[in-house]
């Protein structure tokens, strides 16, 4: 059991950091292990060459370094690697000593940059996007939100997840959302189980895709990325996933300007949708939507095998 939530403002932007924190906090009974947010803001100056990255590393294996020294060393290794690839680090932020946020100007091949960064020992890219910032960590929504200073994050749309781990480890790598390597700005949150995980993962690995966890939800992110790269629209990819992925699931895919959702053919995992002229809100339980809309709303449960896509 996990909790998922999403919100999209059809025009303008809002404090989605605070909104998503409230929505996910109300779903914490569905999963207290870890919390994650994929927050989308308008791309800086409309630039296609400006990216925000979030990277993480495991704490040092021995006591040779203190955590702070280790973090500084990792930071400079990452910055050097970006520079060696012809990128320029515009800004950086290190809210905790095992993560790094970088704003980078880069106009080369994205996958090459990603692979070179992840070739550094222990480094994992958690998020890469022109407008996306994917933040996830162990703990409750209010804790993660506070540690990463999410209050006041002005954005256009977002998805998030509270996790009750059932089949894989509790750490940042296994927390949701999952970024869809190697594509910028694509994130997935999922509530359910994919039962043909090993077979599907094997097929995608043979295509050259990289997996950084043993969480079945990462499979959805990689799967969708694979389909989008083959030229399918998000809606087509979601429909195709219902044929290819077995199990029970409700999941959301977020891109630079879309939120999509897909539900399995048994309708076994919950979802409530509310939509009006200005906003779309979706969540595992209506109590999350109530955090944003106190007044009476019109909401409904999508049926089995439904796919919906909203764009702005």
Partner 1 sequence: MVQVAPKPTETAVVIDAADLDTRHINMAVRKAIAEGHKAITILNPGSKHSICPAIFDDVDITIDGSVGYFGVTMGDGVRARITGRAGWSLAEGMMSGEIVVEKNSGSSTGASLRGGTLVVKGSAGGRTGIQQKGGTIVVGGDSGFLTGFMMQRGRMIICGNVGRAAGDSMYDGEIFVGGEIASLGVDTLLVQPTEKELYEIRAELARYGLPSDRPWKKIAAGKALYNYDSLEPAERKMML
Binding site for partner 1 (CB under 8 A): 265-267, 270, 272, 285-287, 289-290, 294, 296-301, 303-304
How many residues in total does the chain contain? 312
Instruction: Tell me whether residue 146 is exposed, middle or buried, using C-beta atoms within 10 angstroms of its C-beta: 0 to 12, 13 to 18, 19 or more.
Output: middle
CB of 148 to partner 1, least distance (A): 27
By DSSP bridging, strand 88-93 and strand 123-129 are unpaired
DSSP symbols for 126-165 = EEEESSEEEEEEES-HHHHHHHTT-TT-EESEEEEEEE--
Asked whether 115 and 109 are in contact (CB, 8 A), the reply is no
- The count of C-alpha atoms lying within 13 angstroms of the C-alpha of 275, restricted to the half-sphere facing its C-beta, is 11
215 tagged catalytic? no
In terms of CB distance, is 96 or 266 closer to partner 1? 266
Longest dimension (CA), the chain: 58
Rounded distance between C-alpha atoms, residue 110 and residue 92, angstroms: 19
In terms of CB distance, is 228 or 288 closer to partner 1? 288
| Helix intervals (H) in the chain | 16-25, 67-84, 110-118, 141-147, 197-206, 216-229, 234-244, 286-289
In terms of CB distance, is 165 or 248 closer to partner 1? 248
Report residue 188 CA to chain centroid gap: 5
Provide the token pair at 195. 């039962």
Q: Which of 2, 159, 189, 234 is catalytic?
A: 2
Rounded distance between C-alpha atoms, residue 96 and residue 43, angstroms: 25
| Residues carrying an active site annotation | 2
């Amino acid at each position: 059991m996990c909790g998922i939530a999403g919100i999209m403002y059809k025009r303008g932007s809002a404090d989605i950091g605070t909104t998503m924190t409230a929505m996910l906090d109300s779903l914490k009974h569905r999963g207290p292990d870890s919390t994650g947010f994929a927050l989308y803001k308008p791309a800086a100056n409309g630039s296609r060459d400006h990216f925000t990255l979030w990277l993480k590393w495991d704490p040092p294996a021995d006591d040779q370094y203190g955590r702070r020294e280790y973090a500084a060393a990792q930071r400079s290794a990452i910055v050097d690697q970006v520079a060696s690839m012809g990128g320029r680090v515009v800004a950086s932020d290190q809210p905790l000593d095992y993560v790094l946020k970088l704003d980078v100007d880069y106009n080369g091949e994205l996958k090459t940059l990603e692979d070179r960064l992840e070739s550094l020992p222990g480094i994992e890219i958690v998020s890469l996007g022109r407008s996306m910032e994917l933040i996830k960590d162990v703990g409750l929504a209010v804790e993660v939100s506070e540690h990463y200073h999410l209050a006041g994050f002005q954005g256009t749309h977002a998805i998030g997840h509270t996790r009750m781990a059932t089949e894989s480890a509790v750490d940042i790598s296994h927390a949701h959302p999952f970024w869809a390597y190697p594509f910028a700005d694509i994130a997935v949150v999922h509530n359910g189980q994919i039962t043909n995980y090993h077979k599907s993962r094997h097929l995608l690995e043979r295509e050259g895709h990289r997996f950084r966890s043993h969480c079945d939800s990462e499979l959805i992110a990689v799967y969708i990325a694979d389909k989008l790269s083959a030229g399918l629209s998000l809606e087509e990819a979601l429909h195709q996933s219902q044929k290819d992925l077995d199990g029970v699931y409700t999941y959301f895919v977020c891109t630079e300007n879309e939120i999509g959702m897909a539900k399995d053919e048994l309708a076994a995992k919950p979802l409530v949708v509310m939509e009006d002229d200005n906003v779309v809100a979706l969540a595992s339980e209506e109590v999350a939507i109530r955090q944003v809309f106190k007044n009476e709303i019109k909401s409904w449960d999508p049926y089995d095998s439904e796919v919906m896509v909203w764009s702005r």
